[in-house]
Structure 1
Amino acid sequence: MSALPYAVEMQDIVIRFPGVLANDHVNFNLEKGEIHALLGENGAGKSTLMNALSGLYKPSSGTIRVDGKIVNFNSPRDAISSGIGMVHQHFMLVPTQTVTENILLGLKHPRFFMNLARYEQEILDLQQRYGLRVDPKAKIWQLTVGEQQRVE
């Protein structure tokens, strides 16, 4: 184990739904720079666990730490502010909206009138920085699956 805190630490996570124990005292640790795959049968609780980490579900019990600090995510926005995001198995994008409009849906303080050109430029700058190419003006339905994953 490294001397630094784990990037992500999930301890004794229990997630219950009415009549279903989806996760039963699950532990999951991730160090910076690691890539993990969660494998299991359908219904094994993989997505449920990741939905808790990304703020979609609240664990019934257990502790989640990010960089050594205990976090209690009440929404995906909370998780994103801690550097946790999730690319969902099924896209959560609005097909009739543009790439920029879909990204703006997640803003903390959305405004009715926005300068789309400014946000399109910010998206282009991020793409350049991370090597992810997608036209900010394209409608989601026009994109390939790979491009939609980049937007997600």
Structure 2
Amino acid sequence: MTTRPLSPPTSPIARKRTCAPHLPSSQRLCHDWMIVQGNVHYARDRAQFTTYRPVTLRLKNNIFNPTEELQVAGIGTVQIPVVRHLDNPFDTHTLTLDHVLHIPEAVCNGFNPLLYGSSMSCTETAWTGADREGRMMWVARPFRGGARMVLGGGLCGES
């Protein structure tokens, strides 16, 4: 297997990323945060949460399997280390997301940009979000027909 760097060797994005491939995917922590529509953020893994309250809830609108209801196991706060913009991958920031649904059946995690910050821009190469003062808060790259957030700290996704 050959690999190619995603960015210059001095960039934290270029580091070889390891995702514990020896574990089944159901036991690996999911670091994929896809840009989603709707009215919530959601996380697949309980370990993502810094605060957590278990709930017993089933949603009728299951985007992962329309013939079944979707189990929500809890709700809480998640912190995501992200790169602010592609021009400087060393400029990282931690997004704190409140009221995140814990959906164990989710394929990946979902970040709804309409619930965070005040502006969003989409181009062929990146989606970006800024706060009310215009400071860049996060960036996502196109990925399999959608957009996946660029994480800081060498975290990787596997979707």
TM-score by length of 1: 0.29
* More helix per residue: 1
Greater RCO (CA < 8 Å, at least 6 residues apart): 2
TM-score by length of 2: 0.28
* More strand per residue: 2
